[in-house]
Amino acid sequence: MKPIELPKHKILAEAGQVGRSVYFIEKGIARAYCEGRENQVTFWFGLEGDFVFSYNSYINGRPGYESIELLENSLLYEIKDDVLQTLFQENIELANWGRKLAELELMKLEERYIARLFKSASECYQELLNTSPLLIRRIQLGYIASYLGVTQVTLSRIRAEIR
């Protein structure tokens, strides 16, 4: 892995392109989003300690459906996909670590999906406050509103009710 410093708003992966790297966030925040009909829809945030990559590119070698943008000046560690695959083939401990990481990410995805089906935006915001309070302080409210599937006006009302 090689360390790289990148500026705020740098696009790590662009929708329609095949990503060839996996990044580890040492410092900074990233978001993954898709272009909606009228706006961008944020569906994931990555913080320090998270890995960032286009799943479709990494797993299937196909263009990603999402774009990934840095929301702060960031320090990342980059490893090329082919190098990571070679490491997984040569080292069973690393391969098992990669499998476990994938399992944990799948669980997070499932939890977010189920929350969207059964919880209100207010409940999801409260959960975000409880589990990731740093996110709320470091990310623009517009991105948080998009992540929750509400407008900024609705998010402002939710925030006012919680205070």
In CATH, what number is assigned to the domain containing residue 6? 2.60.120.10
The pair of structure tokens assigned to 75 is 């320090």
In a domain, 12, yes or no: yes
In a domain, 62, yes or no: yes
Instruction: Please state, in angstroms and rounded to a whole number, the distance separating the CA atoms of residues 77 and 125.
Output: 30
pLDDT > 90? residue 163: no
pLDDT at 157: 94
In a domain, 98, yes or no: yes
pLDDT at 14: 95
In a domain, 106, yes or no: yes
Residue 96: pLDDT band with limits 50, 70, 90? very high
In a domain, 160, yes or no: no
Work out the average pLDDT over 86-94: 95
- pTM higher than 0.85 for the full model? yes
User: Strands (DSSP E) along 2-101, which ranges?
Assistant: 2-6, 11-13, 21-27, 30-35, 40-46, 51-52, 67-70, 74-80
Work out the average pLDDT over 120-142: 90
Instruction: Please state, in angstroms and rounded to a whole number, the distance separating the CA atoms of residues 5 and 25.
Output: 10
Range of the domain at 33: 2-118
Tally the domains of the chain.
1
Q: What are phi and psi of 20, to 5 degrees?
A: -120, 10
What does the pLDDT look like over 28-78, one tens digit per residue? 999 999 998 888 999 999 999 999 999 899 889 999 999 999 999 999 999
pLDDT at 153: 94
Task: Give the mean pLDDT of the chain.
Answer: 93
In a domain, 155, yes or no: no
pLDDT at 54: 92
Helix 121-131 vs helix 92-118: angle between axes, to the nearest 10 degrees? Answer: 140
In a domain, 125, yes or no: no
What does the pLDDT look like over 135-148, one tens digit per residue? 888 999 999 999 99
pLDDT > 90? residue 27: yes
Burial of residue 135 (number of CB atoms within 10 Å: 0-12, 13-18, 19+): middle
pLDDT at 113: 87
pLDDT > 80? residue 99: yes
In a domain, 129, yes or no: no
